[in-house]
Structure 1
Amino acid sequence: MKKRSAVAGLALALVAGSAFAADLPSRKAPLIEPPPPVFAWTGLYGGVNIGYGFGNGDRDPGVLAYYAVGNAIALPNGTAWRISNDLNGVLGGGQVGYNYQFNPWLVVGLEADIQATDIHSQGNGVGAGSYALGVHTSYATQNKSVDWFGTVRGRVGVTFPSMPNILVYGTGGLAYGGVVSSFNISDYYPTIAAGGSGGVLGAGTNYDQTKVGWTAGGGVEWFPLISNPLFKAFSVKLEYLYTDLGSTTLYGSSIGSIPTGGPAFAYQQTSHTRWNTVRVGVNWHFNPFAAAPVLAKY
């Protein structure tokens, strides 16, 4: 009888303890939220740009020299001129690149871009000189355009602790582009022999080739809406570049005269291809190498 009473008392105590525990408030482990991600420039990006190119006010030199008058050898007399070559026009294209942020203030990267352009120039020059039988006047014209160009550049930039979303950078590297040029010259001479009548000589050359050179400049890039979930990956930039694709020298000779039997000449025309670019652009930044976020479960 005593054993039964003891067992019944123990069961009653267990039931009461369970009921009391059920009435206590539940306690769960606190939810620890991960810290917000730290802004960094590291990652791939791509975007578009538009701008304007303008030249340095170049004046390209040329020279003409006579080598024959009729069937006689002429003295190497001639003339010289300079033609305005002030390239200018609208340009636009796209760019891709990669940035790596080494520390809170240093960012290095590599960028490549390709541009379609309306950069062109048109000019003329006049020269007066002499040849074996008297004076003459040369009229030279030049049309030039850069139909497209591209660059592959390194970038080195700095940020500021109080403004980590602004990057001030310098850039430089390889440049290449399609250069098209046409040159024509007409030379007016008074006589082809003593007491004879005058005439005109003509010549011309066309040039279309991909040129390789260099470019350098700098700019500012900014994430204006870094706190906006929809636009935080977009940056805007303002950039300046100086591009030099070298010079081209064209050679040619007269192809005939009016009337026939007039003097003959050879010419040389040197033209520079260099210009300044100011452009604005928009980049979208992404980093496919980033690890997926880890979500804690409780």
Structure 2
Amino acid sequence: MRTSAFGLLAATAALAIAASTAHAADLPSRYSPAPAYNAMPIFTWSGFYAGVNAGYGWSSGTSRYYDPAFGVAGGSSKGGFIGGAQAGYNYQMGMFVVGAETDIQYAAVGNKGSSYGNTYYAGDSDGYFGTIRARAGVAFDRALVFGTAGFAYGDIGGNKGLDTVLGNHRSNDTNGGWTVGGGMEYAVTDNFTAKVEGLYVNLDTKDNYALADRINVRRDTEFGVIRAGVNYKFN
């Protein structure tokens, strides 16, 4: 009788433990599951882009003319508005970014007028220039510091000889030269970037003629540029 009672008690205890274990398994865990890790995409400078810019340019060259009777005289330089558009391509390798860019600009950077005797040499401030440049820089995530250099072309200002008989005389040839500069660009979003850059542009000097053998108008086309721009980067 005692043995039967002991066996019944053991069986009841076993059932109670089993029921308790099953109930505990149904309860929610006190520890939340680890959240799934979604890595943020890494920004890259690689890709094509296009945009617009605006800024200021100032002439560092001089325009001067030669008269056999009176010698050489010259006009002063000036500065003005510069604005245009650019397009290019970047390729990123680790922190390093290389690429190429071309731009075309309106430039009100010419030379002021001057007079010598009864002859007036009118300044021409309207002109244009463009560049085809290589770019190379170092990226700090969304910030890019770069240098740039390449080919430049354009027709920037210059004095015009004014004669009472023949009127204004000035050639409008496009000159070739070179440019060098640098700047900084920042990716505001994955598609839009903003930049600030400076350029020095040097175009070949031209000799222009009024009255053929009497007046030789010479202009040194050198100017600096500081501009800000916005680019759209194509994914």
Fold-level similarity (TM above 0.5): yes
Who is 2:109 aligned against? 119
Distance 2:37 2:149 in 1: 43
| RMSD between aligned residues | 2.8
Query: Among residues 61, 66, 74, which one is paired with 1:63 in the alignment?
Result: 66
Aligned ranges for residues 147-226 of structure 1 at < 5 Å?
147-159=127-139, 163-179=140-156, 181=158, 183-184=160-161, 204-223=168-187, 225=188
By how many angstroms is 1:204 displaced? 4.8
TM-score (normalizing by structure 1): 0.61
Tell me the amino acid that sits aligned with residue 36 of structure 1. M
Deviation of 1:81 (Å): 3.1
User: Is the Cα–Cα contact under 8 Å of residues 51 and 231 in structure 2 kept in the other structure?
Assistant: yes
Any runs of at least 4 consecutive aligned residues in structure 1 with deviations exceeding 6 A, and if so which?
200-203
Q: 2:215 aligns with which of 258, 264, 267?
A: 267
CA contact (8 A) 1:216 1:242 kept: yes
Q: Output the CA distance in 1 between the equivalents of 2:207 and 2:81.
A: 26
Q: Tell me the amino acid that sits aligned with residue 153 of structure 2.
A: Y
Per the normalisation by structure 2, the TM-score is 0.75
Report the counterpart of residue 100 of structure 2 in structure 1.
110
- CA distance in structure 2 between the aligned counterparts of 1:180 and 1:60, rounded to whole angstroms: 9
**Which residue of 181, 194, 207 corresponds with 1:236?**
194
Task: Work out whether 1:144 is the aligned partner of 2:124.
Answer: yes
**Per-residue deviation at 1:181?**
4.7
Choose which of 90, 100, 106 in structure 1 pairs with 2:91.
100
Q: Which runs of 5+ in 2 are unaligned?
A: 1-21, 28-33
Q: Is the 8 A contact 1:83 1:142 kept in 2?
A: no
CA distance in 1, matches of 2:175, 2:90: 28
Secondary structure of 1:40's aligned partner: coil
CA contact 2:190–2:233 (8 Å) conserved in 1 = no
Cα deviation 1:20-60 (Å, max 9, x = unaligned): 9xx989xxxx996553222221111111111111112x333
* 1:35 equivalent in structure 2: 39
Query: What is the distance in 1 between the residues matched to 2:157 and 2:58?
Result: 17
Q: Structure 1: which 5+ residue stretches go unaligned?
A: 1-19, 66-77, 127-136, 187-199, 226-230, 255-264, 288-298
Cα distance in 1 for residues equivalent to 2:162 and 2:130: 32
User: Quick one: distance in 2 between partners of 1:47 and 1:242?
Assistant: 21
The superposition leaves residues 149-168 of structure 1 with CA deviations (integer Å, 9 ceiling, x where unpaired) of 21111001013xxx421111
Cα offsets for 1:177-221 (capped at 9, x unmatched): 2345552256xxxxxxxxxxxxx9987522222222211110011
Q: In structure 2, what is the equivalent of residue 293 of structure 1?
A: none
Q: Match of 1:16? A: none
- Pair 1:88 & 2:79 matched: yes
SS in 2 for 1:209: coil
Q: Cα deviations across residues 38-97 of structure 1 (Å, max 9, x unaligned)? A: 2221111111111111112x33332212xxxxxxxxxxxx21232224142112111111
Does the aligned pair in 1 maintain the 2:194–2:230 contact within 8 Å?
A: yes
The alignment partner of 2:155 has SS state of strand
Residue 253 (1) aligns with residue 211 (2): yes
Identity value in percent: 32
SS in 2 for 1:39: coil
Instruction: Give the length in aligned residue pairs.
Output: 206
- Write the letter of the residue equivalent to 1:205: H
Q: C-alpha distance in 1, partners of 2:105/2:37?
A: 46
Q: Distance in 2 between matches of 1:267 and 1:205?
A: 10
Give the match's secondary structure for 1:92. Answer: strand
Q: 1:165 to 1:275 in 2, by over 3 A?
A: same
8 Å contact kept, 2:80–2:109: yes
CA-to-aligned-CA distance 1:127-158 (integer Å, 9 cap, x gap): xxxxxxxxxx5644132234222111100101
